Structure 1
């Protein structure tokens, strides 16, 4: 039976997800700040409210929704990848805190929106502590060109999609400097190790990072010029300033903000994050791309 799906955020990612639901004959309505429909009109009677807004817009949207008569059966799905700079919360933690009695689902995977809009095959993960809600979302979005898996590890799935954005900036630098395949392979392997270290420290399951939302998303984002975060790193490597890059990029490169939050947390919690630290120093203009590379290569030698 057709379901009612409200998509919040009309950027490339929100539009791609809307198209997937429409293709499956579901009733889809979209909301954006520039749109003609109000938030109340869009979410009225929705079985699923899916948020694809940028990280900086999550709290604003949740607080607006809180004052609206949303059905207790409505499932909230978050497709945002980032960390709140004030509280360091993930998007799903903000949604669950605002709507403690609702099921919250995270959708994350190697999903470059332009490829999905071109109807190229892809897979993703939907994770929730309420498995019935994850399975409901799975059915709504699954098709012969978009394969959806379920997972219980909501934190791990969400962090995989968030942390890989930092590594994508580093990968862009690697390619922009033409460092070669060996260097890129080493970077991604050590980058995944860093993601696992952070995620497990915060309570995520190790095996989640070897799935679609971890390794899968890392491979997609670190190897494609379609990735905004990759573009940030690449353009920095060829001599552009961060301000110039962000002024011309389409949408939000969430890795820029995520890097800053992660560095703060690494210092507070004493978690070694050498790649993240060098990406942060590069974004702050404290080192050049080649200096950042040299610092990583000259770290103390140790067992793998």
Structure 2
């Protein structure tokens, strides 16, 4: 099957790699950089993203978005949240209602606070929509570490086709119905990862990290349920699974940002020197604003927001969290 991957960054390259493990797939990988396209097609390596992993000859890179959308019945959207609407607007020129689109973006549109699936509906005629989310560190997948993800969709056809296209000896795909939950979990875990990096940068170890992950999961679940998600989604791969991977690995971009802030660098210094996008920074700002509008209690997000704004130090933010009023643990059902 012809499968299109829209976005040639780290995660897009990895998605293309996963799809190419199925010998029945022919993968078209779209990106804007013509030099990288030429390098991938000539050498079968992505100079920035594939490392020592050789990409299959079944992957063909291209700058021709119209060709990819017109020729591929299944598309994986793997661009940043900031560029999602613009790219989807272009895709909408050639997309038809019979095609399947699975987005792999862990963030919201920052100017409107909209979920990416909402933007897909606004900019294209897509009906068969899926969301891919889970504990997926790109470097580990390219190195062949056993991994898994979740594809959530209202359409069983989307889930089953994603499983057929992506499953291999080292990668499993689980299905889910909760699109909202998968999107919220994927976006908000980046905020908790920023906080995890900060605690690591301060030298706090396992007790602190366990506390942060557990209470972070409560916060993410609380917000997700307010958005219409199922509580059970956050106990699975898209929720707790992604939190564990992202908050415990120095491979995580958001963990790196938080760690560097705790070490004394400013956010502007970090963003100027990072070669990759950290979705957690704009997501924190969006989710903090949304939580204020919805009246959802989110103390960790509030603390991270204050740190990013340089209103408080990471150490003082943690002290403030530890000094909050006594309470019972919440129990979420559903």
TM exceeds 0.5?
Answer: yes
What secondary structure does 1:94 align onto?
helix
Cα pair distance change 1:100/1:42, threshold 3 Å = closer
Equivalent position to 1:183, from 166, 190, 208: 208
Q: Deviations over 1:59-106 (max 9, x none)?
A: 0011111122x3432101100100111221111221123234421110
What secondary structure does 1:235 align onto?
helix
| CA apart distance, 1:55 | 0.4
Provide the C-alpha distance between the structure 2 equivalents of 1:185 and 1:101, rounded to a whole number of angstroms: 40
| CA apart distance, 1:288 | 0.8
For the pair 1:61 / 2:87, whether they are aligned, the reply is: yes
Q: Which moved more, 1:164-173 or 1:26-35?
A: 26-35
Provide the C-alpha distance between the structure 2 equivalents of 1:274 and 1:94, rounded to a whole number of angstroms: 28
Provide the residue aligned with 2:65 in structure 1: 39
| CA apart distance, 1:49 | 1.0
- Structure 2: gaps of 5 or more residues: 35-61, 330-334
Provide the C-alpha distance between the structure 2 equivalents of 1:178 and 1:137, rounded to a whole number of angstroms: 41
What secondary structure does 1:55 align onto?
coil
Q: Which moved more, 1:263-272 or 1:214-223?
A: 263-272
For the pair 1:128 / 2:153, whether they are aligned, the reply is: yes
What secondary structure does 1:85 align onto?
coil
Provide the residue aligned with 2:319 in structure 1: 294
Provide the residue aligned with 1:85 in structure 2: 110
| CA apart distance, 1:137 | 1.3
What secondary structure does 2:149 align onto?
strand
Q: Does the 8 Å contact 1:13/1:52 carry over to 2?
A: yes
Provide the C-alpha distance between the structure 1 equivalents of 2:276 and 2:164, rounded to a whole number of angstroms: 28
What secondary structure does 1:56 align onto?
coil
Provide the residue aligned with 2:42 in structure 1: none
Provide the C-alpha distance between the structure 1 equivalents of 2:20 and 2:96, rounded to a whole number of angstroms: 22
Q: TM-score, normalised by structure 2?
A: 0.88
What secondary structure does 1:158 align onto?
helix
Structural RMSD (CA): 1.1
Provide the C-alpha distance between the structure 1 equivalents of 2:138 and 2:115, rounded to a whole number of angstroms: 21
| CA apart distance, 1:42 | 2.1
Size of the alignment, in residue pairs? 301
Provide the residue aligned with 2:7 in structure 1: 9
For the pair 1:107 / 2:132, whether they are aligned, the reply is: yes
Q: Does the 8 Å contact 2:92/2:125 carry over to 1?
A: no
The runs of 4+ residues in structure 1 deviating greater than 6 Å are none
Q: Deviations over 1:232-291 (max 9, x none)?
A: 110001111111111222321101011000111111111000000000000111111111
For the pair 1:238 / 2:237, whether they are aligned, the reply is: no
For the pair 1:263 / 2:288, whether they are aligned, the reply is: yes
Provide the C-alpha distance between the structure 1 equivalents of 2:4 and 2:286, rounded to a whole number of angstroms: 30
- Structure 1: gaps of 5 or more residues: none
Provide the C-alpha distance between the structure 2 equivalents of 1:167 and 1:202, rounded to a whole number of angstroms: 18
Equivalent position to 1:20, from 13, 18, 21: 18
For the pair 1:252 / 2:250, whether they are aligned, the reply is: no
Provide the C-alpha distance between the structure 2 equivalents of 1:81 and 1:64, rounded to a whole number of angstroms: 20
Provide the C-alpha distance between the structure 2 equivalents of 1:14 and 1:164, rounded to a whole number of angstroms: 19
Equivalent position to 1:205, from 218, 230, 239: 230
Provide the C-alpha distance between the structure 2 equivalents of 1:98 and 1:42, rounded to a whole number of angstroms: 17
Q: Deviations over 1:205-248 (max 9, x none)?
A: 00000000000000000000000000011000111111111122
Q: Does the 8 Å contact 2:81/2:105 carry over to 1?
A: yes
